[in-house]
Amino acid sequence: TTHTLTNPVSLSLVSPSLPLSLPSPPPPPPPRRYQLFTERLSKLEEAEGSFDDFTRSYMFYGVQRQANNSLMFREWAPGAQALFLTGDFNDWNSTSHPYTKKEYGKWELYLPPKSNKSPAIEHETKLKQVTRLEVWVLLVTRQKVWHQHTRPKRPRSLRIYEAHVGIASPAEEIATYTNFTLNVLPKIKDLGYNCVQLMAIMEHAYYGSFGYQVTNFFAASSRFGTPEDLKRLVDTAHSLGITVLLDVVHSHASSNTADGLNKFDGTESCFFHSGARGQHPQWGSRLFNYQSWEVLRFLLSNLRWWMEEYRFDGFRFDGVSSMLYHHHGIAMSFSGGYSEYFGMQVDEDSIIHLMLSNHILHALYPDCITIAEDVSGMPGLCKSVKNGGLGFDYRLNMAVPDKWIQILKELKDEEWDMGNIVYTLTNRRKGEACICYAESHDQALVGDKSLAFWLMDKEMYTNMSSLIPMTPVIDRGIQLHKMIRLLTHALGGEGYLNFMGNEFGHPEWLDFPRKGNGESYKYARRQYNLLDPDNNLRYTQLYAFDRDMNLTEDKYGWLASQKKDKVIVFERANVMFVFNFHPSNSYSDYRIAAGPSGKYRIKLDSDAEQYGGHGRLDTDTEFFTEQEPFKGVNDQWQPHSLKVGYGTAVWVLGPR
């Protein structure tokens, strides 16, 4: 039927069978991963009371000293037929102290105090359960707590010094926590880094694994010293205003059976998936079953343990790419298509575990920092959990060091593509913060080369003296080393990372003692002695530049800059181009640098009505330059500037 509306302003048509105001449609269902996360969190809180109690399970499991000095040992070993405690205290009798089996695969052993009321097992006694180390803790009694200093406030701009305690000395030996505290922390402070990321802290039997084959998750590596020494290190860092992150390995575990979790209860599926899903095909390690309730308890409590017992300020999660996908990223070249990130190849159990980890950490410790080592570019990795993301604060921008190595390997200087370099440095997901770096420990390992070594190679051994003229190789290498690092620092992310020693162009790769090198420590060290002023080496010049680069960032805060104005201004052919990409903000009295002095008028305005704009500007307005210097394109100061006011538009301003 056709109706002619004679007075459409006053006409109202209402159907008597419908309400005058219809209810709003229901909101769309939450994304699947967020729905699974909320379900898992609800079950956890329903069963355990709260995630706070659940993640403090290290206060229940392992060995707990009671008020009367008795000791209670508890473990989860559902596949075990029997469990015994042996060690120095019983002359390594393997059957004299059996555990009692409880429900749900739990075991308990109670040891009353001695007649003199002291604990039945003395401090630092060596223990084993059946034939393997205790799962939850390594030492019998609580250690002295070293946290007199409060945690520093979360840094506005994160500048990370990635470090390994054992190689933090020029000596051909395993360095200690104490050495790091006394000799390395002052350098980190002097260099202007506000965060240290410690590698290889979780106990690992094989030193050459760089700490990535963990055998005991609740023990600080004893090869570097005592737990008290590590606590003193963290506390000293806090006193210097330095945040401390732990390189945490929850992506896999050592396959050792004598001193690790593997086959702890006699089965291969206690903490891990059984069959092929529980084996990492490249690393030769075991993969956790993140759906298991007790594995969840173990790993989440592990995070709380390091935050509470040692006062770490956050974590760099290793191997996240391997966790996110059933294929572990092996032989995958991620192009950025969404089909690569959402589908059957994604490991939902791992994703939910990471969401829980981040949710709990940030709920309990609002200033906690979490960083994901992910090369795949998973969307939402650094979005908050409440917004459907995985909850990390930062991801590592791993494409950048690969780009620099590729350029140095494959291209002559005159072949460098500036546009491609800038694209790589700025190619990151909007709204997800990145930690950028020119090189990390990966580039320092044997078989690769640091940037300094790619640039200067063997001349680093003979021509780095500041008492002789620079050779062309050293000259080029030093200048490019500084430029690469500053460009990466300024453009590559919202945080910056450097691996220890690379700030001064450490001349050698990193190679841990092994059979292939005669168990030598020659390359398992950082030669800080090269910075001795008496040596008159140019390494000190690179050190000074790295320090001043960080101190300049600390003053101006470019890493934390959000580029809020979203304005692009440049000059070409004596014409000023002004782009305002901000979705809502207009500006008045916005100062820009000017080329030639004089009078400018609008020559082209995208907001003009004839172009579908709103016509908010008077094209007859004149803009006069002032003798007020202002920084323009390429950070070049111009002697003149002018003030403009405009809306969301593109202007072209030309001299009248």
Active site residue ranges: 318, 373
How many Å apart are CA 306 and CA 55, to the nearest integer? 11
Amino acid, single-letter form, for residue 547 = R
What is the token pair recorded at 534? 């008496």
Q: How many CB atoms lie within 10 A of CB 588?
A: 9
Torsion of CA 123, 126, 128, 131, to 10 degrees: 180
The secondary structure of residue 351, as a DSSP letter, is: H
Please state, as a whole number, how many other Cβ atoms lie within 10 Å of the Cβ of residue 37.
25
- Identify the CA nearest to 305 among candidates 107, 108, 142: 142
Whole-number Å distance between alpha carbons of 297 and 110? 22
Report the Cα 601 to chain-centroid distance in Å: 49
Amino acid at 411: L
Nearest to 452 by CA among 463, 441, 460, 464: 460
Helix axes 348-364, 293-309, angle to 10 degrees: 30
Q: Which amino acid is at 5?
A: L
Cα distances from 379 to residues 33, 122, 278, 382, 392, in angstroms, run 12, 51, 26, 8, 12
**Burial class (CB within 10 angstroms; exposed 0-12, middle 13-18, buried 19+) of 217:** buried
Both tokens of residue 221? 């590596």
SS3 399: helix
* 130: region left, alpha or beta (phi > 0 left; psi from -120 to 50 alpha): left
Contact (Cβ atoms closer than 8 angstroms) between residue 646 and residue 586? yes
- Give the whole-angstrom CA distance, residue 656 versus residue 639: 19
Q: Report how far residue 488's alpha carbon sits from residue 493's, in angstroms, rounded to the nearest whole number.
A: 8
**Residue 78 has which token pair?**
């559902």
End-to-end CA distance of the chain: 61
- C-alpha dihedral, 485 to 489 to 492 to 498, nearest 10°: 70
Q: Residue 635 contacts by C-beta under 8 Å, 6 or more apart in sequence?
A: none
| Calpha distance 360→345 (Å, rounded) | 26
